Chains A and B, each alone.
Chain A
Amino acid sequence: MANKIIYEKSRGLTDTPLTYCPGCSHGTIHKLVAESLVELDVLERTVAIAPVGCSVLAYNFFNCDGIQAAHGRAPAVATGVKRVQPDKIVFAYQGDGDLASIGTAEIIHAAHRSENFTVIFVNNAIYGMTGGQMAPTTLIDQKTTTSPYGRFEETTGKPLLVSEMMAQIPGATYIERVSVHDHAHILKAKRAVKKAFGYQVAGKGFTMIEVLAACPIGWGVTPVNSMKFVKDEMMPYYPLGVYCDRGGEA
Chain B
Amino acid sequence: MAVLTFNDVTCKGCDLCVDACPKKILTLDTSRVNAKGYNPVLCTDINACTACAICARVCPDSVIKVEKGEAA
Instruction: Give me the interface of A with B, judged by CB distance under 8 Å.
Output: 1-10, 13, 17-18, 20-28, 30-31, 182-183, 186-187, 216, 222-224, 227
Asked if B43 CB lies within 8 Å of chain A CBs, one says: no
B13-72 interface (Cβ within 8 A of A): 13-16, 19-20, 38, 51, 53-54, 56-62, 64-70
Tell me which of B14, B16, B54, B68 contacts A3 (CB under 8 A): B68
CA distance A3 to B10 in the complex (A): 23
Q: Check A227/B61 contact, CB under 8 A, given A7-B56, A22-B38.
A: no
20 A-B residue contacts at CB 8 Å?
A3-B3, A3-B67, A3-B69, A4-B70, A5-B65, A6-B66, A7-B53, A7-B57, A8-B56, A17-B9, A17-B61, A18-B61, A22-B14, A26-B60, A28-B59, A30-B60, A183-B57, A187-B57, A224-B19, A227-B16
Tell me which of A6, A18, A23, A183 contacts B67 (CB under 8 A): A6
Determine the chain A residues whose CB is within 8 A of the CB of B65 once the complex forms.
5, 7-9
A7-B53, A17-B61 known, 11 other contacts, Cβ within 8 Å? A1-B70, A3-B67, A3-B70, A13-B62, A18-B61, A20-B61, A22-B14, A183-B54, A183-B58, A222-B15, A227-B19
Number of residues in B with C-beta < 8 Å to the partner?
A: 29
Q: Is the CB of A224 within 8 A of B15?
A: yes
CA distance A187 to B20 in the complex (A): 14
Main secondary structure of the interface of B (DSSP, over half): loop
Determine the chain B residues whose CB is within 8 A of the CB of A2 once the complex forms.
70
Contacts across chains A and B counted by CB atoms under 8 Å: 87
Q: Is the CB of B16 within 8 A of A224?
A: yes
Tell me which of A31, A183, A227 contacts B62 (CB under 8 A): A31
Q: Is the CB of B62 within 8 A of A9?
A: yes
Tell me which of B10, B16, B51 contacts A23 (CB under 8 A): B16
State the Cβ distance, B33 to closest chain A Cβ, in Å. 14
Determine the chain A residues whose CB is within 8 A of the CB of B10 once the complex forms.
17-18
Q: Closest 10 interchain pairs by CB?
A: A27-B60, A23-B14, A22-B12, A9-B62, A3-B67, A22-B14, A7-B53, A7-B56, A223-B14, A6-B66
State the Cβ distance, A62 to closest chain B Cβ, in Å. 13
Determine the chain A residues whose CB is within 8 A of the CB of B70 once the complex forms.
1-4
Determine the chain A residues whose CB is within 8 A of the CB of B67 once the complex forms.
3-6
State the Cβ distance, B14 to closest chain A Cβ, in Å. 4
State the Cβ distance, B49 to closest chain A Cβ, in Å. 10
State the Cβ distance, A122 to closest chain B Cβ, in Å. 12
Determine the chain B residues whose CB is within 8 A of the CB of A17 once the complex forms.
9-10, 61
Determine the chain A residues whose CB is within 8 A of the CB of B38 once the complex forms.
22
Tell me which of A1, A7, A25 contacts B66 (CB under 8 A): A7
Determine the chain A residues whose CB is within 8 A of the CB of B59 once the complex forms.
27-28
CA distance A224 to B20 in the complex (A): 9
Q: Is the CB of B69 within 8 A of A223?
A: no
Q: Is the CB of B58 within 8 A of A22?
A: no
Q: Check A8/B66 contact, CB under 8 A, given A22-B12, A23-B16.
A: yes
